[in-house]
Amino acid sequence: MQTHEIRRRFLAHFENAGHTPVPSASLILDDPTLLFVNAGMVQFKPYFLGDAPAPWKTATSIQKCVRTGDIENVGHTTRHNTFFQMAGNFSFGDYFKEGAIRHAWTLVTGSQDDGGYGFDPERIWVTVYDNDDEAERLWQEVAGLPPERIQRRDGRDNYWDMGVPGPGGPCSEIYYDRGPEFGIEGGPVADEDRYLEIWNLVFMQDVRGEASPKYGAEPIGELPQKNIDTGLGVERVAFLLQGVENVYETDLLRPVIDRTQELTGRRYGVDEADDVRFRVIADHVRTAAMIISDGATPGNEGRGYVLRRLLRRVIRNARILGCTDPVLVDLLGVVRDAMGPSYPELHTSYERIAAAFRTEEESFLATLATGSKIFEGAVAETRAGGGTTIPGASAFALHDTYGFPIDLTLEMASEAGLEVDEGAFRTLMDEQRARAKADAAARKQGGADAHAYREVLERAGLTRFLGYSDLVADSTVVGLIVDGQPAFAAGEGHDVEIILDRTPFYAEGGGQQSDTGRIVGDGFSVEVTDVQSPVPGLVVHKGRVVSGEVVRDAAARAEVDVERRAAVSRSHTATHLVHAGMRRALGDAAAQAGSLNAPGRLRFDFTSPGGAVPATVLTDVEDEVNSVLLGDDEVRPYITSMDEARKLGAIALFGERYGDEVRIVDIGDYSRELCGGTHVGRTGQLGLVKLLSEGSIGSGVRRVEALVGIDAFRFLAREHVLVNQLAEQFRAQPDELPDRIAGVVDRLRTAEKELETIRAREVLSSAGSLVDGAEDVGGIALVAARTPAGVGGGDLRSLAGDVRGRLQARPGVVALFAPDGDKVSFVVATTEGARERGLAAGDLVKAFAPAVNGRGGGKPDLAQGGGSGVAGIDDAIAALRAEVAGAER
């Protein structure tokens, strides 16, 4: 049975049972706790947490998932993938254990002619939580399983929660016995390769506290509404039904292995080490394609680093198998053809994904060359110090600065007979990730306790947003939060977060900055400076009480700053136009990767694996966008279904959550996007869009910044004044300025080079006088002097070498200090006679460098460095003199 058919049967089974089919969420969601969606229930998390009411009683989905913790296991086991498809059915207060077990058993063991999977019931085993008597009884009653094929396991295997206080419950897992040729008897507790888990049923019934029942703690209560969350591994079912040895040999991954054989000339199934590499390639190239199709790009942090690591493991394993030619784009075509029937975005985004693959492969070849040199330096330094372990900081620098994967560093270190301090490396990585997560969480919630928001949501319900049509609204204060905790009142001067039952204020989201304004009532006034939605459906107004006292349940009037809203809306509409213009000019590869819509200005980030956008393209896009403004096209928002939006070709932004109903914004016939933001009524209201700059902000990601409306006019007015001033200074017409200025710059550069040549001659001519001024320090000729300001490093070294040469056979030390503003450069050179007396240039630098707040080093005959303490030059010379005087004779 093909994988696409396995997916279809699952959805059909639960649709026939009354479940609402829900499309897979993007792998990339706005959740600071996740790099990627890693389970089928993630998009339903707000409903399980009680942050928002579920729109359905029951649902079913096939969710795209990526689990980065399995990367090291990929290829070595029969069942681990980084990307996998999780089929699930969900009940929000509808059926519970009996229904979940009945649905699962019917599908798993039902005949294939009747739409089931047709697994032999005699080969099915299940596990239940160690005290879940009810689940064991139901498996016997509903499925007819004998007690000997039902095994109990503790919370580490059969209890599920989110890792934080909140909902949880016992699990029941379904396993299939592959037969004695795959392992020992004894059920899942004895061998999980022979007895393969295919489905996990989670019975959410508990409220867990700070400690998890997974590790023996007792739940602190029961959920008022019992829920079901299940997950069936599509890839695992596929390899069982297709009769292959592992998940890598199924119909979706085996074609990649076959193509890799053709590219490398090696054969799969001959050598186990090679087989692991084949499986890693097949798994990782598919995962990378799916991640990029959902909007991520390779980088050095977070999900970008994971993506880069996956691609580079593919490239390196292909090269180890013998393929020196580029492989990524070739293999991408195989992934597209295999996965396309279920994921059409692989076809529509193919060029964008291919461009990212191509850029990353070219970059990694350069990384291999550069990183290898840095690695060799780390090896030499480790051996010079008599060590056998490369420091974790060196491994981290290789990763963070040069993009060198840690597994590559480990492999190369092993080949060199060394180890790597992995513990220190992991600590540095964890610290980096923790900082990123903390920053994201702080930006999302402002440091407040999410429980405070949930308490308001549970008590008062969702906030009704009126801001598309109204900028002033009468409301009721349904919640107050002060210092992160619920409050009943807040007085003058207090920072406060206010929740209204209805609001015209737009909460920051989709790149659009929030509204500002004020909330007033009987005897109080609050200045609103920020608006956020920390939990879905709840709008939180952040500000300061400027007069009186605001209390919960008070009547209030919410007033949006009209001028700011209009300016932000103009920027948001302009962003849609710039996005459309870039896609028309560069193709679909120019997909939005972020934006900022602020009053009078915008920032638009987009993928551009091909590199910098030519200035002529930016000019054409700007002209085209402003032509749309002149046309005064209507900006028309409307609500439709997600299916209809796809048919209309509306552009969706990856990482955004979309429900069954979505809001589309059409701008004439020029742009159509899914968008929840605010916009102008007609394009003529923008006035003018002026693109200011374009540049790189990361691998394959570019940024355009622009001004809109009156801000754009003011910018052009300033530019006009500046051009007129320059034209007057140069006594030229404005269109002659580029040539005139270029000529002046060329003459200045020529003059600077001539001055440098003259200064170098003057500096070098002073060598004789410096030698004449040498002082005798214990039989050593010491030349220590301050050179004129502005002497460059190259001239300083040349002068030191010339002076040393003039000392001839005399034991001598030359130390020259060149001040430059508040900094100083220095060079130390020693003669052979001085070195024979134990004076090494590098050691001498260490003796005097602290006096000039500096550092440096080098070889025994020549060393150099710099510092920031020009006033300490005399002290440095004194320290040098003392060091020379104290040298062994």
Q: What is the C-alpha to C-alpha distance for residues 876 and 854, in angstroms, rounded to an integer?
A: 10
Q: Is 224 exposed, middle or buried (0-12, 13-18, 19+ CB in 10 A)?
A: exposed
If phi > 0 it is left, if psi is from -120 to 50 it is alpha, else beta; for residue 254 that is alpha
Distances (CA, A) of 743 to 705, 726, 737, 739, 746: 30, 14, 10, 6, 5
Place of tokens 């389970």: 39
How many C-beta atoms lie closer than 10 Å to residue 310's C-beta?
Answer: 27
Alpha helices by DSSP H, listed for 17-148, are 45-49, 97-109, 133-138
Query: Is 347 marked within a binding site?
Result: no
Which residue, 22, 65, 27, 12, is CA-closest to 44? 22
The SS3 assignment for 375 reads helix
Full DSSP string of 657-700 = ---SEEEEEEETTTEEEE--S---SBGGGG--EEEEEEEEEETT
CB 248 within 8 A of CB 230: no
Which residue, 689, 680, 681, 683, is CA-closest to 708? 689
Q: What is the C-alpha to C-alpha distance for residues 889 and 886, in angstroms, rounded to an integer?
A: 9
CB 662 within 8 A of CB 641: yes
Distances (CA, A) of 875 to 514, 791, 853: 58, 21, 11
Type of residue numbered 393: A
If phi > 0 it is left, if psi is from -120 to 50 it is alpha, else beta; for residue 697 that is alpha
Q: What is the C-alpha to C-alpha distance for residues 64 and 340, in angstroms, rounded to an integer?
A: 14
Angle between helices 737-765 and 793-807 (to 10 degrees): 20
As a whole number of Å, the end-to-end CA separation of the chain is 88
How many C-beta atoms lie closer than 10 Å to residue 1's C-beta?
Answer: 16
Query: Is 675 marked within a binding site?
Result: yes
The SS3 assignment for 226 reads strand
Element (H, E) at 86: strand 83-92
Q: What is the C-alpha to C-alpha distance for residues 521 and 743, in angstroms, rounded to an integer?
A: 66
Print burial letters for 167-205: b (CB count within 10 Å at least 16), e (below 16): bbbbbbbbbbbbeeeebeeebbeebbebbbbbbbbbbbb
Alpha helices by DSSP H, listed for 296-421, are 302-320, 328-339, 345-348, 350-384, 392-402, 406-415
CB 830 within 8 A of CB 847: no
The token pair at 831 is 């003669």
Element (H, E) at 573: helix 562-586
Query: Is 576 marked within a binding site?
Result: yes
Element (H, E) at 807: helix 793-807
Determine how β-strand 83-92 pairs with β-strand 58-66: antiparallel
Print burial letters for 52-78: b (CB count within 10 Å at least 16), e (below 16): bebebebbbbbbbbbbbebbeebbeeb
Question: How many residues appear in the chain?
Answer: 889
Contacts of residue 352, Cβ cutoff 8 Å, sequence gap at least 6: 292, 588, 589, 591, 607, 609
Print burial letters for 434-450: b (CB count within 10 Å at least 16), e (below 16): eeeeeeeeeebbeebeb
Binding-site annotation, residues for Zn(2+): 572, 576, 675, 679
Binding-site annotation, residues: 572, 576, 675, 679
